[in-house]
Amino acid sequence: MTQPNLNPNSPFFHEERHVSLAQFVEKQITVCGAGALGGNLTETLARMGFTRIKLIDKDRVEMRNLSTQPYSRAEVGAPKARALANMLYRAVQAKIEPVVAELTMANAQTLLQKSDLVIDAFDNRAGRAAISETARVLHIPCLHIGFSADGLYGNGLWEPQYQVPQEVPGDPCDYPLTRPFALVMASLAAHTIVDCFRSGQETNFELTWRDLAITHL
């Protein structure tokens, strides 16, 4: 739906033109993980106009991250959360709250409280388990996103349907199509986040890269 009285100089002109985000851009979104999924999703949400994003990640940018994640060579060695927050402020003046810390069962409630929505994009079982349990205790909507070690399958599951997966050998970032796959996953996650805020609908999704089949569950 086209919106009247648009400011053509707004960095979010196209989003405002087609879908008004004004009702929920100030919702507190906490993204856990700033890697291929969490980093690209955070960038997508910031460029869509969401203004209150907390980004939690303990890792620093490595050279091997540059092919799949939204970082540059100049940021190698810097904490991922701070590097992405700085980049997005320069890009669209997004004010990301970076938290350089390991989320554990001991600090999860402190880090996740006051969130309107939590996104779990971690790549380790302990972190995912801490988020899942804490989101249920605090009654916070929580979307878990991830993809398989072979880089061929990904999904997004909301609590309480989510079950913490077992650790599986392999690194999906070794797959040559990780970057485009992660971007598609970030787009699907952003779409279901908007649906959640607009209508309260929490839609699970899965993506099979091999046959490009997208199925809404």
Task: Give the alpha-carbon dihedral of 150, 179, 55, 19, to 10 degrees.
Answer: -120
Question: Nearest Cα to 158, choosing from 104, 117, 209?
Answer: 117
* pLDDT score of 62: 94
pLDDT of residue 173: 66
Q: What's the sign of the alpha-carbon dihedral 150, 156, 161, 164?
A: positive
Looking at residue 151, its pLDDT comes to 75
β-strands 213-216, 29-32 pairing = unpaired
Please give the pLDDT value at position 217.
72
Q: What is the pLDDT of residue 150?
A: 76
pTM score, two decimals?
Answer: 0.87
**Residue whose structure tokens are 């999703």:** 41
Beta bridge partners of 215: 206
Question: What is the CA angle 124-125-130, rounded to 5?
Answer: 110
CA angle 141, 193, 75 (to 5 degrees): 100
pLDDT at residue 213, rounded to an integer = 64
Neighbouring residues of 174: CB distance < 8 A, sequence distance ≥ 6:
151
pLDDT of residue 1: 42
Helix, strand, coil abundance in the chain, percent, nearest 5: 40, 20, 45
Q: Is the dihedral of CA 165, 166, 171, 172 positive or negative?
A: negative
Q: What is the pLDDT along the chain (217 residues), one digit of tens a residue?
A: 445 565 666 655 555 554 677 788 899 999 999 999 999 999 999 999 899 999 999 999 999 999 999 999 999 999 999 999 999 999 998 999 999 999 999 999 999 999 999 999 998 999 999 999 999 999 999 999 998 877 788 999 999 999 988 776 666 666 667 888 899 999 999 999 999 999 999 999 999 877 676 677 7
pLDDT for the residue numbered 148: 84
CATH architecture of 15-216: 3-Layer(aba) Sandwich (3.40)
